[in-house]
Amino acid sequence: MPEDKKQEVKQDETIKSSASAEPTSAGDVNLTVADLRNLRTIIDIASQRGAFRGAELKPVGEAYDKLDQFVKAVDAKAQAENPAATPQEPAEKKTAEEKK
């Protein structure tokens, strides 16, 4: 298994094992760091495309900031534990940042 996948699996297991939410009646809910990165990208793209109304911008921005800080903290912890590995970000996010 490639190193990037090993790190992602390790991060995913950390999130699953540290989650305090009880499973729902529909079964176990799995939320991974990769899912959180995707959500961050979705919010970023939706805001660029004008999907939110003015009154919605503050709560969306606050949610985005919390999500961004959490993902960065997880990435920093993983980087500290394994300096050779780098976190994977979706291509859309990199493209959006390059346009700025």
Report pLDDT digits (tens) over 35-87.
999 999 999 999 999 999 999 999 999 999 999 999 999 999 999 988 876 55
**Measured between alpha carbons, how far is 12 from 33 in angstroms, rounded to an integer?**
6
Report which DSSP code applies to 56.
G
**Measured between alpha carbons, how far is 42 from 44 in angstroms, rounded to an integer?**
5
Gyration radius of the chain over CA positions: 15
- 27 vs 12, which has greater pLDDT? 27
Which residues lie across from 95 on neighbouring strands? Answer: none
Q: Give the residue among 68, 64, 58, 2 at the shortest CA–CA distance from 33.
A: 68
Q: Is the pTM of this model over 0.85?
A: no
98 membership: H or E segment, kind and range: helix 91-99
Q: What are the sequence ranges of the domains in the chain?
A: 30-99
